[in-house]
Structure 1
Amino acid sequence: MNQDRLTPNQDDAITDAAAHWCMRLHADDCTAAEREAFDLWLAADLRHFDEYRAMQEIWQTADLLPRRTAVVEIGARPVRKAQPRHWRPFASAAAIALLALPLAGWVGWEQGWLPNRYQHFEATDQVRQVQLSDGSQIELNLHSELRFFNYKDQRQVTLTRGEAFFKVTHDTAHPFIVRAGNGQTRVTGTQFNVWKYNDEVKVTLVEGSVLVSSHGDDGGYRLGPGMQASYHAGDFEPTLAQTDDADNSLAWRSGKLVLDNLSLAQALPVINRYLERPLLLADDSTGAIRVSGVYNTREVKRMVDNLPKVLPVYLTRSKDGSTVLNRITPLTNKG
């Protein structure tokens, strides 16, 4: 099979097959012969592995299956470097799974356990604009990834890494929830930005209003336009702040990384978003050095390499290959 391109019919066939195997492997009457046939199908094409893994997410998100069969292990196997996954709704796949278990599927949807639509988006080396099945628009920053699940009573996005700007279609009866880190942002229709790095999350509101919680409940603190909320894992409540005209939170949408007189310790979480390996500080004195400038988000690695030309630092390598910033200690006059 051609590994580079699928026709629409071939693409649908893989989706249908993945849904079939997901149904059979979770069934009580699945036979050893079927499991052997599944293993052969899975090994035949790397796309089979990717599609089956995506199908499992639909089932596992519902938390509807018996615990003893909730996860079918497909093992660790070499997978080619992931390519940007083009928008493709999984409604047909979800429908097949639902039809396989009509009663459980109907109950799952009616109770809000099971989504009827799943979408997965990823941006690698360029900003990506996508549209959800509800009409909401999302702009993904470099190296960002999210998943969308449409439930009967809510629309749910999980930002697994990176940054995204949301323009949410208004639907009071169908709230839109973005989960990032341990917290969530809840809206019905508005425009806002969510940034996530490690266990830190920052929400910036542009239009409308949102409720931000640092620990994932449905309450939280309401933001108005021009406000920000930030939190780390374990925070009891988010930290709130008012932005000003000089705020650069959305500069990435123009391909810019703006460092406005930040200490290196403050700048690193922003810089590291664009690096394959994190930039490290040798010590606190290095982190206290301040940096300013406007840089291209696609050339942050070059910016790091050039830091010794503009700051009193030099670069070394850690054992794992990460770049380390070290402060140059001024020579003292012993005379």
Structure 2
Amino acid sequence: MTDHTLSQAEYDAITDAAAHWCMRLHATDCTAEERLAFEQWRDAHPLHAFEYEAMLEIWDVAGDLPRPESAVPAVRLRPATPWRTFGIAAAVCALALPLAAYTGWNLGWLPNAYQHFEATDNVRQVTLSDGSQVELNLGSELTFSNYKDQRRVTLKKGEVFFSVSHDTQHPFIVKAADGRIRVTGTQFNVWMYEDQVRVNLIEGSVLVTSNGALPGEGSRLEPAMQARYRHGDFTPQISQTSANDHSLAWRSGKLVLDDLTLTDALPLINRYLNKPVMIADHSTGSIRLGGIYNIKELNNLVASLPKVLPVYLTRNKDGNPVLNSIPQQTPKS
């Protein structure tokens, strides 16, 4: 579990490493082992990839910079020897090191703060570096990056309640599955399971799009409205939330199922389970389930379902529990 805002020394160390890898990968004597080591370094932390991409931009731009003849001798276009590549790379990276962080931030390429949060066995409350308050449900994970022109959250899994600090100059954008939620300051809840996303607005307003690659700002939500989308949806489905909406019951440690079909109830349950429950067929999915449950005890609910519903449990080849409806006997005439 990580809850860490990078210090200036740590940030500078990443910039230094990015400059080193930029130099080595452009060298003619770069080995396959080095390239593998670079990939491992790049994938170890999101900022590694961000910083390396910024370094590549500086590398490319530096190649086009005019050089006064009195200061820097002209370089003939000929195959570069390792020492020549090293010298050019060192010169570019020497220029890049003091400028990379500033340039990356100033152009909106790199964040000046990065945070990663997870909640495993307990609901967790955290404060982002911009002052926003965030509450993570069990089994939830997100990252936060603060850029010059925006604040960006990536919800990797789970459910989160946001109370966003108001800043009209720096919109707050949450990426969830294929879509995004854009605000400047408000309170809202985002639930995600696999490719399904549900956004509930409590206060303020948000813009929701089901596909971040599509043009346009998205659909606007007002308080007491909800947006749903999943992979492939062109636009989110918008609806009013009912007066007895229980979507925020998790903040009190509860899951409320209000007479839902198993098709609708299982995604809400499965988000808390290591092995999601499957449905055998459509008739099983149409069986309805209600009740109030402790979110820490939902594994016990699965085992008890045959006691309260006309179903029985089997296992598929992957070990997932499968709910099967009990056939209804036709009365004899």
Query: Does the pair score TM above 0.5?
Result: yes
State whether residues 22 and 52 of structure 2, in contact with CA within 8 Å, keep that contact through their aligned partners in structure 1.
Answer: no
2:320 aligned residue (301, 309, 322): 322
How far apart are 1:49 and its partner, in Å? 7.5
Task: Assess, with a 3 A threshold, how the Cα gap between structure 1 residues 52 and 289 changes in structure 2: closer, same or farther.
Answer: closer
Equivalent residue number for residue 71 of structure 1: none
State whether residues 16 and 97 of structure 2, in contact with CA within 8 Å, keep that contact through their aligned partners in structure 1.
Answer: no
Task: Assess, with a 3 A threshold, how the Cα gap between structure 1 residues 62 and 205 changes in structure 2: closer, same or farther.
Answer: farther
Task: Assess, with a 3 A threshold, how the Cα gap between structure 1 residues 158 and 333 changes in structure 2: closer, same or farther.
Answer: same
**5 Å matches for 1:67-106?**
101-106=97-102
- Does 2:192 correspond to 1:196? yes
Equivalent residue number for residue 53 of structure 1: 45
Inter-partner Cα distance in structure 1 for 2:245 and 2:143: 28
How far apart are 1:334 and its partner, in Å? 4.4
Task: Assess, with a 3 A threshold, how the Cα gap between structure 1 residues 98 and 318 changes in structure 2: closer, same or farther.
Answer: farther
**5 Å matches for 1:282-297?**
282-297=280-295
State whether residues 197 and 229 of structure 2, in contact with CA within 8 Å, keep that contact through their aligned partners in structure 1.
Answer: yes
How far apart are 1:13 and its partner, in Å? 8.8
Deviations 1:278-329 (A, max 9, x none): 1100110000000000000111110111001100011110100000001011
- Does 2:252 correspond to 1:254? yes
Task: Assess, with a 3 A threshold, how the Cα gap between structure 1 residues 63 and 277 changes in structure 2: closer, same or farther.
Answer: farther
Greater Cα shift, 102-111 or 25-34: 25-34
How far apart are 1:197 and its partner, in Å? 1.1
Inter-partner Cα distance in structure 2 for 1:62 and 1:218: 27
1:159 aligned residue (155, 162, 175): 155
Give ranges in structure 2 of 5+ residues lacking alignment: 61-92
Partner-residue secondary structure (3-state), 1:149: strand
Percent identity among equivalent residues?
55
- Does 2:105 correspond to 1:141? no
Q: Kindly provide the amino acid, as one letter, of the partner of residue 290 in structure 2.
A: S
Equivalent residue number for residue 211 of structure 1: 207
Partner-residue secondary structure (3-state), 2:290: strand
Task: Assess, with a 3 A threshold, how the Cα gap between structure 1 residues 285 and 324 changes in structure 2: closer, same or farther.
Answer: same
TM-score for the superposition, normalised by structure 1: 0.77
- Does 2:171 correspond to 1:175? yes
State whether residues 18 and 55 of structure 2, in contact with CA within 8 Å, keep that contact through their aligned partners in structure 1.
Answer: no
Deviations 1:131-151 (A, max 9, x none): 100100100111111111111
Equivalent residue number for residue 79 of structure 2: none
- Specify the structure having the higher radius of gyration (Cα): 2
How far apart are 1:55 and its partner, in Å? 4.1
Greater Cα shift, 166-175 or 323-332: 323-332
CA RMSD, 1 decimal? 3.5
Task: Assess, with a 3 A threshold, how the Cα gap between structure 1 residues 193 and 61 changes in structure 2: closer, same or farther.
Answer: farther
Inter-partner Cα distance in structure 2 for 1:151 and 1:56: 16
Partner-residue secondary structure (3-state), 1:185: strand
How far apart are 1:231 and its partner, in Å? 1.0
- Does 2:233 correspond to 1:235? yes
Inter-partner Cα distance in structure 2 for 1:288 and 1:29: 57
Inter-partner Cα distance in structure 1 for 2:332 and 2:313: 27
Task: Assess, with a 3 A threshold, how the Cα gap between structure 1 residues 63 and 321 changes in structure 2: closer, same or farther.
Answer: farther
Task: Assess, with a 3 A threshold, how the Cα gap between structure 1 residues 198 and 24 changes in structure 2: closer, same or farther.
Answer: same
Inter-partner Cα distance in structure 2 for 1:119 and 1:324: 38
Inter-partner Cα distance in structure 2 for 1:98 and 1:262: 62
Inter-partner Cα distance in structure 2 for 1:108 and 1:193: 31
Larger RCO (CA within 8 A; separation ≥ 6): 2
Inter-partner Cα distance in structure 2 for 1:58 and 1:182: 21
Equivalent residue number for residue 275 of structure 1: 273
